């Protein structure tokens, strides 16, 4: 498990350049360009279970779900940050990517510390210390528990208007 540390105000153009937005949509198309203008080593180096530790306002800028889709599909366990831009935050809920706002955990981390997120107990473990984070409202947890927004919407539609 590796921790990838990035700073404040990382916008979506750096996470996934705009020039690819109308030619790359699927996870396989997105993966080679993931974080291309932020960290060229990321796309080839990231492994399932890795964690991103980020600063303030992560994911600001354009509405661009490809980086979220990409991070979820390469198996990133969580993105732990000081704060997230709102469209990026919603996109993560919609894709089932775990985002955790926990400034104390970001502050506490030093090179080499493993980072782990325990959703059940709402805490981030950094090395041998633990930091609580507020649990999500039930409406949002329901979307995550369905596996993402589309699965959630499909279940609601099927209950309401069974497929003909």
Query: Where on the chain is the footprint of other proteins (CB under 8 A)?
Result: 9, 11, 13-14, 17-19, 21-23, 25, 37, 56-57, 60-65, 68, 83, 85-87, 90-91, 94-95, 137, 139-140, 148-150, 152-154, 156-157, 161, 163-164
* 68 vs 126, beta carbon nearer other proteins: 68
Contact 33, 67 (CB under 8 A): no
Tell me how far, at minimum, the Cβ of 20 lies from other proteins, in Å. Answer: 9
Minimum distance, C-beta of residue 57 to other proteins, in the bound complex (Å): 4
The residue among 1 and 141 lying less far from other proteins, judged by its C-beta, is: 141
In the complex, the smallest distance separating the C-beta of residue 28 from other proteins, rounded to whole angstroms, is 14
CA–CA dist 163, 104 (Å, integer): 47
For other proteins, the closer of residues 31 and 95 by Cβ is: 95
CB of 129 to other proteins, least distance (A): 26
First to last CA, the chain: 46
The number of CA neighbours under 13 Å toward the Cβ of 68 is: 25
In order, the DSSP letters of 52-117 are: EEE-TTBTBSS---HHHHHHHHTT--EEEES-B-HHHHHHHHHHT--EEE-HHHHHH--TT--EEE
């Amino acid at each position: 498990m590796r921790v990838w540390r990035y700073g404040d105000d990382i916008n979506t153009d750096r996470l996934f350049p705009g020039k690819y937005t109308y030619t790359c949509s699927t996870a396989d198309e997105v993966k080679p360009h993931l974080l291309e203008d932020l960290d060229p080593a990321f796309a080839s180096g990231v492994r399932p279970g890795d964690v991103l530790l980020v600063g303030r306002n992560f994911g600001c800028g354009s509405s661009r779900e490809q980086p979220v889709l990409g991070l979820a599909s390469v198996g990133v366990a969580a993105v732990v940050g000081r704060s997230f831009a709102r469209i990026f935050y919603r996109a993560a809920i919609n894709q089932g990517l775990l985002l955790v706002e926990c400034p104390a955990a970001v502050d506490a981390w030093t090179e080499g510390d493993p980072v782990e997120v325990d959703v059940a107990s709402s805490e981030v473990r950094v090395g041998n210390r633990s930091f609580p984070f507020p649990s999500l409202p039930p409406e949002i947890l329901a979307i995550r528990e369905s596996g993402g927004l589309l699965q959630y919407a499909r279940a609601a539609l099927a209950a309401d208007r069974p497929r003909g």
